């Protein structure tokens, strides 16, 4: 089982807001990063250090934190946002170890 917990799936209509959560004991001590993976493609970084958006990622993607939960928000969801989303962080077990959440499949209705 993953040390980072994500909802397995989320469905939203185009134009609505999608909020994907990631929770675990690693937060808030470690940053959380988000990757988008479309079918047949490699993952792409869409959020880093909880709330920072890499260049080239649309402004509709944003991040927020509250206690041990980090949220990736996609405002005004578009069909092209349909993908699997994975959070990633680091847990301390003598040294920091990379962990991924189980992934959330976002379906745009």
Say how many C-beta atoms besides its own lie within 10 A of residue 78's C-beta: 12
Does 21 contact another protein by CB under 8 A? Answer: no
Does 35 contact another protein by CB under 8 A? Answer: yes
Among 14, 15, 92, 109, indicate the residue that binds another protein (CB under 8 A).
92
CB-based contact 82:107 (threshold 8 Å): yes
Q: Which is nearer to another protein, 17 or 96 (CB)?
A: 96
Among 1, 13, 49, 59, indicate the residue that binds another protein (CB under 8 A).
49
For 80, the 3-state DSSP assignment is helix
Does 5 contact another protein by CB under 8 A? Answer: no
Looking at the chain, the number of H-run helices and the number of E-run strands are 0, 9
Q: Is the peptide bond before 28 cis (omega within 30 degrees of 0)?
A: yes
Q: Which is nearer to another protein, 3 or 75 (CB)?
A: 3
CB-based contact 58:108 (threshold 8 Å): no
Interacting residues toward another protein by CB under 8 A: 2, 29-31, 33, 35, 37, 42-45, 48-49, 54, 84, 86, 88, 90, 92, 95-103
């Amino acid at each position: 089982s993953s040390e980072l917990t994500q909802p397995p799936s989320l469905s939203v209509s185009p134009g609505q807001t999608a909020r994907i959560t990631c929770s675990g004991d690693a937060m808030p001590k470690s940053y959380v990063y988000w990757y988008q993976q479309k079918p047949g493609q490699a993952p792409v970084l869409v959020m880093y250090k909880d709330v920072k958006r890499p260049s080239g990622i649309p402004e509709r993607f944003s991040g927020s934190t509250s206690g041990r939960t980090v949220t990736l928000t996609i405002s005004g969801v578009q069909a092209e946002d349909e993908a699997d989303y994975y959070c990633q962080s680091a847990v301390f077990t003598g040294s920091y170890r990379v962990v991924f959440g189980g992934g959330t499949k976002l379906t745009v209705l």
